[in-house]
Amino acid sequence: MHIDTTLLIIDSLKILFLIVIIGLFVVFLWDVFQKEHSILRNYPLIGHFRYILESLGVYLRQYFYAGDREELPFNREQRSWVYRAAKDADTMIGFGSTRDLTPLGTIFFVDAPFPVLGSDISKTTPVTVGPFCRLPFTTNTLFNISGMSYGSISKNAVLALAHGAKMAGCWLNTGEGGVSPYHLEAGCDLVAQLGTAKYGFCDEKGNLSDERLKLMANYPQIKMFEIKLSQGAKPGKGGILPGVKVTPEIASIRNIAPYKDSISPNRHTDISNVKELLDVVEHIREVTGKPTGFKTVLGSYEWLDDLCLEIIKRGKEKAPDFITLDGSEGGTGAAPLSLVDYMGLPIAESLPVLVDTLVEYGLRERIKVIASGKLVMPADVAWALCVGADFVVSARGFAFALGCIQALRCHTNHCPTGITSHAWRYQRGLDPTIKAVRVANYVKNMVYETRVIAHSCGVEVPRDLNRKHARMVTENGLSVSLAELYPERVPGIKLR
């Protein structure tokens, strides 16, 4: 019996060996005779190692070779801070900073000789968006969840973000895929986004539907409406959801065909200039009664003058209630490399321009500014507040809170953490209940540490930070105050 089993195993191994040899021989023949890949044709069999190693390279570098501050889009230092904050683990470090403080553009904050005592502070700083609406939105939040559509991210990811937002008291932007039941179920504050295809807001003919707008406005959770003109990663290109991710449920929410690429137009068909933009803002606000604004990236920024002049002509109450400014470093579910790498201005350059232009037209108080673009750490949020943002939003910061490992596969439906995959095999790893707590922890620790920076700068609350509180390293190696780099504008100067 024992000998029989051994012989059986040896026979099986022989057969297996034979199969492997035959398999390799078939691959060898295929390599030699195929014409598409020169490396494989010239180096049959071993040429495959090049492709295997190339695809594994990204992981090998991430785990073994890349330094803590080396990788892009986010380095290990940034990712680990978010992971620790999300797990409510200790975010302290020992010995000293590993940050190189010399490169051009490095930001420092200006500490006060006598910081504000953390224990003294109980002040909140509520901000009201849309004071002229029937239903203005007043909130204390500083840091919120930026749009990632249901489609680009999975059901479990949406659920975790929505429940996490509810626990943290921040808002969740729906992204351009329409409002799904998973956005609504947690009861968190929502910003409903209308992308260029206006998914979820159209009638059968594809036109903006007042009926749909009213239906959405009836949900008390939906606090604001955002028209997406563009996003940082791909200005001038509409949303792209590869067919493999268009499940029947997502297709029905978007009112499109399942398993076919969902490509939004590269701009709103009814918005081709600032007048039409203001018309649509006004229309949505009138129909819904809720604050309405738009999201954009700045490239050329002269059009902001046209926008402000048109607002002044129509009256301040006709202004967009907010502008979400996304930097060109922003993330995406899927976009062409040429746009991701080359299009638009980074937030560091565009945020001061937007804030200053609004000041110059006397519109700064009226139009709230929401900033995004790799603002995932407390220092990033503090910087944006110093420059003049009212709120900061992040998409990928929250992806890290959900466990994203930066595999860069959002467009493939093979996200290993189930955040951007609809396949059950991947999604089962993302438990919405546990991850919701991580989302809430991330917001809590972000706000806490931003407050720590504010206190060190000598102000009571983060929203009291201003340009005098930050400095930037310039060409001669010395730092200059942001107040000097972007001098204070005289309010309303362009109206005189």
Ligand X SMILES: Cc1cc2nc3c(=O)[nH]c(=O)nc-3n(C[C@H](O)[C@H](O)[C@H](O)COP(=O)(O)O)c2cc1C
Residues that bind ligand X (CB under 6 A): 146-149, 152-153, 175-176, 193, 228, 231-232, 239, 295, 326, 330-333, 372-374, 376, 394-397, 410, 420
CB of 412 or CB of 456, closer to ligand X: 412
What is 30-64 written as a DSSP string?
A: HHHH--S-HHHHHSTTTHHHHHHHHHHHHHHIIII
Q: What are phi and psi of 276, to 5 degrees?
A: -65, -35
Cα distance between residue 394 and residue 399, in whole Å: 9
In the complex, the smallest distance separating the C-beta of residue 245 from ligand X, rounded to whole angstroms, is: 11
CB of 308 or CB of 446, closer to ligand X: 446
Cα distance between residue 262 and residue 242, in whole Å: 6
Cβ atoms of 402 and 157 within 8 Å: the answer is yes
In the complex, the smallest distance separating the C-beta of residue 299 from ligand X, rounded to whole angstroms, is: 15
H or E element, residue 182? helix 181-184
Cα distance between residue 141 and residue 127, in whole Å: 8
In the complex, the smallest distance separating the C-beta of residue 438 from ligand X, rounded to whole angstroms, is: 16
In the complex, the smallest distance separating the C-beta of residue 421 from ligand X, rounded to whole angstroms, is: 11
CB of 86 or CB of 459, closer to ligand X: 86
In the complex, the smallest distance separating the C-beta of residue 156 from ligand X, rounded to whole angstroms, is: 14
CB of 357 or CB of 394, closer to ligand X: 394
In the complex, the smallest distance separating the C-beta of residue 226 from ligand X, rounded to whole angstroms, is: 8
CB of 116 or CB of 415, closer to ligand X: 415
DSSP letter, residue 173: E
Cross-strand pairs, 391: 370
What is 386-431 written as a DSSP string?
A: HHT-SEEEESHHHHHHTT----S-TTTT--TTSSS---HHHHTT--
CB of 232 or CB of 432, closer to ligand X: 232
In the complex, the smallest distance separating the C-beta of residue 146 from ligand X, rounded to whole angstroms, is: 4
Cα distance between residue 457 and residue 466, in whole Å: 10
Cα distance between residue 394 and residue 211, in whole Å: 31
Residue nearest to ligand X (CB): 175
In the complex, the smallest distance separating the C-beta of residue 475 from ligand X, rounded to whole angstroms, is: 27
CB of 153 or CB of 440, closer to ligand X: 153
Cα distance between residue 378 and residue 453, in whole Å: 8
Residue type, 85: A
In the complex, the smallest distance separating the C-beta of residue 252 from ligand X, rounded to whole angstroms, is: 18
Q: Which long-range contacts (CB under 8 A, 24 or more apart) does 85-91 make?
A: 85/401, 85/441, 85/442, 85/445, 85/446, 85/449, 86/400, 86/401, 86/438, 86/439, 86/441, 86/442, 86/445, 87/438, 87/441, 88/441, 88/444, 88/445, 91/445, 91/449
Which of 299, 356, 295 is CA-nearest to residue 320?
Answer: 295
CB of 116 or CB of 253, closer to ligand X: 253
- Count CB-CB contacts under 10 A for residue 390: 21
**Axis crossing angle, helix 303-314 with helix 274-288, rounded to the nearest 10:** 50
In the complex, the smallest distance separating the C-beta of residue 399 from ligand X, rounded to whole angstroms, is: 6
CB of 118 or CB of 181, closer to ligand X: 181
Residue type, 147: G
Residue type, 244: V
In the complex, the smallest distance separating the C-beta of residue 9 from ligand X, rounded to whole angstroms, is: 49
SS (H, E, C) 96-165: CCCCCCCCCCCEEECCCCCCCCHHHCCCCCCEEECCCCCCCEEECCCEEECCCCECCECHHHHHHHHHHH
CB of 166 or CB of 396, closer to ligand X: 396
Cα distance between residue 181 and residue 166, in whole Å: 15
Cα distance between residue 346 and residue 140, in whole Å: 27
Cross-strand pairs, 191: 173, 224
